[in-house]
Structure 1
Amino acid sequence: MAPRSAAPVTLPLAGPLVMARFVRRRLRFLVDVDGEAGPFTAHANNTGSMLGLLRPGRLVGLSVSDNPARKLAHTLEMVRLPDFRGDFWVGVNTLTPNRLFRRAFGAGAFPDLAGYDTLRPEPAFAGGRLDFALSGPAGECFVECKNVTMVEDGAAAFPDAATARGCKHLVELTRLAREGVHRAALFFCVQRPDGGCFAPAAVVDPDYARLFAEAVAAGVAVLAYRAEASPGGITLGERLPLARRY
């Protein structure tokens, strides 16, 4: 495992963001926005509800792809959220957690993952695939990454919509932890600066909350980290504690 770098780990964006105002969301994966040159439609890869974020008139930041084969050149990256303590960006791109985890792991930014030096993406399991398998002198550790965009009662919370797929991942990680041959971990990438701890969103998905508690009891490591989203990139921040009650 590489030694921990003193410098912050930042995932740069592909290029400058285009700023626009949110108009509406359509068919889960489409967002209509109003930019300087007029209205246009962009892609949104976040299948969650993005509860409390997508309000008409909100400022949004969109990346631009140079792939000519894409039907929509723009992708929704972040939403500017008003707050009485000062407005802030919320990162909504669900590819960010995996990309940031890979970069941060390579920089030795996770003390809990010392002893692993190799990363393999998308290892298969009986019900599908997890995000990463880590290996090294410490053995093998399976990791699933999740994006967090919701804060409820002072806690960063996941999910923001019921998730059968997320429940399936919890079941598999719990099984791995109980078998004791491999380690299992969850990386929650909290792409907003508020919320002092992390908790499963029981009010949104009680099944996920129940399975999360079982996973923690079985020994699945919960790595909830704040990630500062800005037009300059996504920077890994401090680790958040688990809420006392969840």
Structure 2
Amino acid sequence: MKGLSFPFTHEATFVSRINRFKVSCLLDGKEVFAYLPNPGRLWDILAPGRKVYLAESPEGSLPTLIAAEKDSLPILLHTHYTNRVAQFLIDHGLVPSLSGLNVKGKEVRVRDRRFDLLLSDGREDLILEVKSCTLFGERIALFPDAKTERGAAHLLLLREISKRGMRAGMLFVVHSPKVSFFLPHYHLDAEFSKILFQARESVLIKAVSVGWKVAERRLELLPTAKELEIPWHILKKEAGDRGLYLLVLRLESDAVVGVGRKGTFSLRAGYYIYVGSSKRGLEKRVRRHKRRRKRLFWHMDYLSREAKDMKDIVIRTNSLGECELAHLVASIFSPILGFGSSDCRCPSHLFFSRDNPLGSEHFLRLIQYVQIDRLDDLLGSNARNSPLF
């Protein structure tokens, strides 16, 4: 069987992400810019110091970042290549659920949407949308890595196509050989996750993991692939509008912040990580924190007036507590004593970092644990249902 591979011309070191589609890298000691054909956040992959693989583009264009390493394994990031990967897997019978089907067409238009592949077994057709998944932990992968209105719209139309009597499906290609399970990223995109959960009865939902290796300036697809289990029961237990959140924000300069009756806090310029929770209305709570204008109530309201560049990390959960999360963050960063912990015995729920914590391997591992890896404990548990989304 002839394999599938993609060429690259340079190995470089990732420095920073300039915007959604442009990155800075070090190549032979010099800064170079590259095009990134991937709209995902990629926090856990594009960390400073990681090895990346660049391919030359036509003269006058930036080189293209096609892959990066995580845990010493190359991860394909070029989303435009994913359809070719999916077609290769289907053509070679590496997706058992799609065995007996052949690619009949590509970029198939239905109304105002295009779907990646049209498959057929000679008797009936199947419209298939393909998604690239690069967010994963030790055993579980999550999609999407950034909110996807386009993905939700595709799912809704696939459901309608199925109701009209034509087969429809969505295939997630996970670029890690070590995972065994797949879930929608319900922490990040509740709407997409809800639609996918509802669509599972009428739309073929499948995920397959693949691996890559580097050989002779090419990124080669490993000859093995496996279908992943989708533990829907975890969504039933964990995916409500309640849970925990981390807010990462930046102070440009030293500040003295008044916090109501708590008095004032002298805070250094740098980054702050706040741990919070909401028993209901989690999304609404986070949106409120990010608003510039609001009635001052929570400790965080006072700090957010002074801060810049707030980012949120949501952990939808019915099984992890706010103080547990604060304890985990305290193992990495320095606490601001007395901030955000008036109703518990924790020293603080606010922590300081001189550098951006989203560039810290330890913090990225913490996010991976609370959003992904701790779900291992639920894989064998068909826990009782709770309100979903």
TM-score, normalised relative to structure 2: 0.55
Aligned residues with identical type, % of pairs: 26
Query: 2:212 aligned with 1:237, yes or no?
Result: no
Corresponding residue SS for 2:153:
helix
Q: Which residue of 2 aligns with 1:81?
A: 70
1:12 to 5, 8, 12: 5
C-alpha separation in 2, matches of 1:162 and 1:55: 20
Q: CA deviation at 1:52?
A: 1.4
Unaligned runs of 5+ in 2: 236-389
Moved more, 95-104 or 206-215: 95-104
Corresponding residue SS for 2:44:
coil
Structure 1 residue identity aligned to 2:211: E
**Within-5 A mapping of 1:210-225:** 210-218=194-202, 220-225=203-208
C-alpha separation in 2, matches of 1:105 and 1:119: 12
Could you list the per-position Cα deviations for residues 114-151 of structure 1 after superposition, in whole angstroms to 9, with x for gaps in the alignment? 44334211111223211111124230100001111112
- Tell me which protein shows more helix as a share of its residues: 2
* Equivalent pair of 2:177/2:225 in contact (CA under 8 Å): no
Q: Which residue of 2 aligns with 1:52?
A: 44
Following TM superposition, the consecutive aligned residue runs of length 4 or more in structure 1 with deviations greater than 4 angstroms are none
* Equivalent pair of 1:193/1:228 in contact (CA under 8 Å): yes
The number of aligned residues is 229
Classify 1:239/1:114 alpha carbon distance in 2 versus 1 (closer, same or farther; 3 Å): closer
**Cα RMSD for the two superposed structures:** 1.9
C-alpha separation in 2, matches of 1:166 and 1:47: 13
Q: CA deviation at 1:106?
A: 2.4
* Equivalent pair of 1:174/1:214 in contact (CA under 8 Å): no
C-alpha separation in 1, matches of 2:138 and 2:90: 30
C-alpha separation in 1, matches of 2:134 and 2:206: 16
Structure 1 residue identity aligned to 2:77: V
Q: Which residue of 2 aligns with 1:3?
A: none
Q: Which residue of 2 aligns with 1:4?
A: none
* Equivalent pair of 1:223/1:239 in contact (CA under 8 Å): yes
C-alpha separation in 2, matches of 1:47 and 1:36: 27
C-alpha separation in 1, matches of 2:129 and 2:9: 28
Classify 1:238/1:22 alpha carbon distance in 2 versus 1 (closer, same or farther; 3 Å): same
From the CA coordinates, give the structure whose radius of gyration is larger: 2
Structure 2 residue identity aligned to 1:184: A
User: Higher relative contact order by CA 8 Å / sep ≥ 6: 1 or 2?
Assistant: 1
* Equivalent pair of 1:115/1:138 in contact (CA under 8 Å): no
* Equivalent pair of 1:81/1:88 in contact (CA under 8 Å): yes
C-alpha separation in 1, matches of 2:157 and 2:138: 29
Structure 2 residue identity aligned to 1:230: K
Unaligned runs of 5+ in 1: 1-6
Structure 2 residue identity aligned to 1:71: S
Structure 1 residue identity aligned to 2:207: A
* Equivalent pair of 1:151/1:194 in contact (CA under 8 Å): no
